[in-house]
C-alpha cells in the first residue's frame, strides 16, 4: 500500500500541498478528483520524486520513499504516466516502450505481450514515431511504457485529458484489467467525474492544496463533487 502522510509541497514561497494524507491500497483504484490548479499534479510529483516535499512522509509497502530519486522509486515499483504523456516524439513506439527498461535487470528487459493485448494499436505501430500517434494512442503508449517496468503501483495524471470517448473507454478497461489481473495499486488524478466514479474503488477530492473529502466511490456525493470541480 502507498501511504502519504501529512505532506506539504512548496514552489518557492507558494504552497501547493497542505497536510495531504491518502492511501492507495493494492488491488484497488484510488482516484483523486479536483479542478485545474488544486495541486493534483503536485501530489503525483511528490509521490514519484519529481519534486521534494517540505514536510510529511511517503511510504510504499512500508519502505520510505522520501528523498529517493525518481529512478530509485521506479525500482521500488512506482510507475508514472505523467500529464501530457511525455512520450519521445522522435523515437519509435518500440523505442518508447524500451525506454521503460531502465530500472529493470537484464533478464527482465522485454516488452510483456499483455501490453499488445490491451492496446493492439501499439503492436501494429511499433516502427512509427511516437510523435505521429494521435493523443489517445500516445496515452496508450505512455501507459504501456509504464507497464514495461512491471510496476507495483501505477500513478496516472489525468489519463482522459484531451482524449476521445472511445479511447477513454479502452483506457478505463485497461486500468481495470491491470487492477484485477496483477493486484497492483492504481492511483489516478482526474477532473472527469464520471470516469472516476465508474472506475474507482476509493475517491478523494482535493481543493486548494488540501484533501476535502474521502470515501468509497459508490457513496460519493455527486453534487458535492461537482461543486468542488467547478470554479
Ligand atoms: N513549477 C511550478 N512553479 C510554481 N508554481 C507551480 C509549479 N507547478 C505548479 N504550480 C502551482 O501550484 C499549484 C498546483 O498546481 P498543480 O499543477 O499541482 O495543479 P493540478 O491540480 O494538477 O492542475 P492541472 O490540472 O492544471 O495540472 C497551482 O497554483 C500552480 O500554479
Q: For residue 15, how far is its CA from the centre of ligand 1 (angstroms)? A: 10
Answer for the pair 119, 143: CB distance below 8 angstroms, yes or no.
Answer: yes
Answer for the pair 80, 111: CB distance below 8 angstroms, yes or no.
Answer: no
d(CA 177, CA 29): 11
Predicted confidence pLDDT, tens digits, the chain (231 residues) = 999 999 999 999 999 999 999 999 999 999 999 999 999 999 999 999 999 999 999 999 989 999 999 999 999 999 999 987 789 999 999 999 999 998 888 999 999 999 999 999 999 999 999 999 999 999 999 999 999 999 999 999 999 998 989 889 989 999 999 999 999 999 999 999 999 999 999 999 999 999 999 999 998 888 888 988 887
Q: Identify the pLDDT of residue 56.
A: 97
Q: For residue 130, how far is its CA from the centre of ligand 1 (angstroms)? A: 26
Q: Residues enclosing ligand 1, CB less than 6 A? A: 11, 14, 16, 34, 36-42, 83
Strand order in the sheet with 210-216: 78-81, 153-157, 185-190, 29-33, 202-207, 210-216
C-alpha cell at position 106 = 537484464
- Counted residue by residue, the chain has a size of 231
d(CA 115, CA 174): 9
Q: Which residue spans within 61-137 are E strands per DSSP?
A: 63-64, 78-81
Q: For residue 225, how far is its CA from the centre of ligand 1 (angstroms)? A: 20
d(CA 25, CA 7): 18
Report, at the CATH architecture level, how domain 2-85+152-229 is classified. 3-Layer(aba) Sandwich (3.40)
Instruction: Name the closest-CA residue to atom 6, ligand 1.
Output: 11
Atom of ligand 1 nearest to the CA of 41: 22
pTM of the model: 0.92
Q: Identify the pLDDT of residue 54.
A: 96
Atom of ligand 1 nearest to the CA of 158: 25
Instruction: Name the closest-CA residue to atom 17, ligand 1.
Output: 41
Sign of CA dihedral 105, 106, 109, 110: negative
Residue ranges covered by each domain of the chain: 2-85+152-229
Q: For residue 116, how far is its CA from the centre of ligand 1 (angstroms)? A: 34
Amino acid at each position: 500500500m502507498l501511504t502519504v502522510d501529512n505532506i506539504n509541497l512548496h514552489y518557492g514561497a507558494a504552497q501547493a500541498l497542505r497536510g495531504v494524507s491518502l492511501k492507495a491500497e493494492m488491488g484497488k483504484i484510488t482516484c483523486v478528483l479536483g479542478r485545474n490548479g488544486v495541486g493534483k499534479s503536485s501530489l503525483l510529483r511528490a509521490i514519484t520524486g519529481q519534486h521534494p516535499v517540505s514536510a510529511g512522509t511517503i511510504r510504499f509497502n512500508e519502505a520510505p520513499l522520501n528523498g529517493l530519486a525518481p529512478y530509485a522509486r521506479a525500482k521500488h515499483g512506482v510507475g508514472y504516466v505523467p500529464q501530457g504523456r511525455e512520450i519521445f516524439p522522435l523515437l519509435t513506439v518500440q523505442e518508447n516502450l524500451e525506454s521503460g527498461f531502465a530500472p529493470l535487470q537484464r533478464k527482465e528487459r522485454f516488452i510483456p505481450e499483455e501490453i499488445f493485448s490491451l492496446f493492439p494499436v501499439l503492436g501494429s505501430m511499433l516502427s512509427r514515431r511516437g510523435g505521429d500517434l494521435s493523443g489517445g494512442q500516445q496515452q496508450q503508449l505512455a501507459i504501456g511504457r509504464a507497464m514495461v517496468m512491471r510496476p507495483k503501483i501505477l500513478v496516472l495524471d489525468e489519463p482522459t485529458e484531451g482524449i476521445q470517448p472511445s479511447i477513454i473507454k479502452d483506457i478505463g478497461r485497461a486500468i481495470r484489467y491491470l487492477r484485477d489481473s496483477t493486484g497492483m495499486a492504481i492511483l489516478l488524478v482526474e477532473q472527469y467525474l464520471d470516469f472516476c466514479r465508474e472506475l474507482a474503488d476509493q475517491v478523494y477530492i482535493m481543493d486548494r492544496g488540501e484533501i476535502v473529502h474521502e470515501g468509497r466511490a459508490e457513496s460519493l456525493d455527486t453534487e458535492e463533487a461537482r461543486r468542488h470541480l467547478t470554479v
